[in-house]
Amino acid sequence: MPEIRPLRPGDPPQLGSYTLRGRLGEGGQGVVYLGESEDGERAAIKLLHVRFTGEAQARSRFARELTAARRVAAFCTARVLVADLDGETPYIASELIDGPSLRQVVERDGPLGGEALERLAIGTATALTAIHQAGIAHRDFKPDNVLLAADGPRVVDFGIAKIIDESGTITTRAVGTPAYMAPEQIADEHVGLPADVFAWASTIVFSATGKAPFGGDTIVATLNRVINHEADLSALPGDLRATVASCLNKDQRLRPTSDEVLKRLLGHPVDESEASEEVLAEGAQAATVDLTRVETRPTARRRRRMAATAAATAALGLAATFAVLQFGPAFGGNATVLPGRGTPTPAPESTVRSPLLDRIKAGGVLRVGYRDGFPGVSLGVPPTGFEVEVAEYIARALKVPEGKVRFVPVGYADREAAVERGKVDLVIANLSIDSADRSRVAFAGPYYVAHRDVLVRAGMKISEVGHLRGKKLCLAAGQSTGSMISDMGVTFVAVHDNDTSRCANRVADGRADALPGDDVLIAGFGARLRGPGLKIAGIRLTTERYGVALRSGDPRACQAINGAIRAMYADGTMQALLERNFGRVGFRFETGLPRLEDCR
pLDDT in tens, 360-411: 988 889 999 999 999 999 998 889 999 999 999 999 999 999 889 999 999 8
Asked if 84 is an active-site residue, the reply is: no
pLDDT in tens, 28-64: 557 889 999 887 788 888 886 544 444 566 556 656 6
One-letter amino acid at 51 equals R
The separation between CA 334 and the C-alpha centre of its own chain, rounded to angstroms, equals: 32
**The pLDDT of residue 91:** 80
Poorest-pLDDT segment among 80-84, 112-116, 367-371, 448-452: 80-84
pLDDT in tens, 176-223: 578 899 999 888 788 889 999 999 999 999 999 999 999 877 888 888
Task: State the pLDDT confidence band at 66, using cuts at 50, 70 and 90.
Answer: low
CATH pick for 331-451+543-582 out of 2.60.120.260, 3.40.640.10, 3.40.190.10, 3.40.50.300: 3.40.190.10
Q: What CATH number does the domain located at 14-95 have?
A: 3.30.200.20
Q: For residue 281, which of 597, 598, 600, 590 has the smallest C-alpha distance?
A: 590
Q: How many CA atoms lie within 13 A of 38 on its CB side?
A: 8
**The pLDDT of residue 58:** 57
**Residues 197, 199, 205, 206, Cα dihedral to 10°:** -150
- Give the mean pLDDT of 416-442: 89
**The pLDDT of residue 159:** 44
One-letter amino acid at 107 equals E
Helix axes 573-582, 519-527, angle to 10 degrees: 50
pLDDT, greater one: 304 or 273: 273
Poorest-pLDDT segment among 177-186, 293-302, 316-325, 498-507: 316-325
Neighbour-count burial of 176, counting CB atoms closer than 10 A to its CB (0-12 exposed, 13-18 middle, 19+ buried): buried
pLDDT in tens, 441-468: 999 999 999 999 999 999 899 999 999 9
Cα–Cα distance measured from residue 484 to residue 487, given in angstroms and rounded to the nearest whole number: 5
Q: Is the pLDDT of residue 323 over 70?
A: no
Superfamily in which the 102-315 domain is placed by CATH: Transferase(Phosphotransferase) domain 1 (1.10.510.10)
Architecture of domain 452-536: 3-Layer(aba) Sandwich (3.40)
Q: Is the pLDDT of residue 435 over 80?
A: no
Name the phi and psi angles at 260, rounded to 5.
Answer: -65, -40
Q: Where are the domains of the chain?
A: 14-95, 102-315, 331-451+543-582, 452-536
Output 223-231 pairs: Cβ under 8 A, ≥24 positions apart: 223/178, 223/181, 223/186, 226/178, 226/179, 226/181, 226/182, 226/183, 226/186, 227/183, 227/186, 227/187, 231/202, 231/205
Q: Is the pLDDT of residue 151 over 50?
A: yes
- Give the mean pLDDT of 238-265: 93
Cα–Cα distance measured from residue 277 to residue 593, given in angstroms and rounded to the nearest whole number: 8
Q: Is the pLDDT of residue 295 over 80?
A: no
Its pTM stands at: 0.50
**The pLDDT of residue 162:** 44
- Give the mean pLDDT of 512-541: 90
- In this structure, the chain runs to a length of 600
Question: Are domains 331-451+543-582 and 452-536 of this chain identical in fold?
Answer: yes
Catalytic residue among 84, 140, 151, 157: 140
Q: Is the pLDDT of residue 173 over 60?
A: no
Q: Are 81 and 43 in contact (CB under 8 A)?
A: yes
Cα–Cα distance measured from residue 419 to residue 408, given in angstroms and rounded to the nearest whole number: 11
CA distances from 419 to 410, 509, 548, 578 (A): 10, 41, 11, 26
Task: State the pLDDT confidence band at 317, using cuts at 50, 70 and 90.
Answer: very low
Cα–Cα distance measured from residue 106 to residue 298, given in angstroms and rounded to the nearest whole number: 15
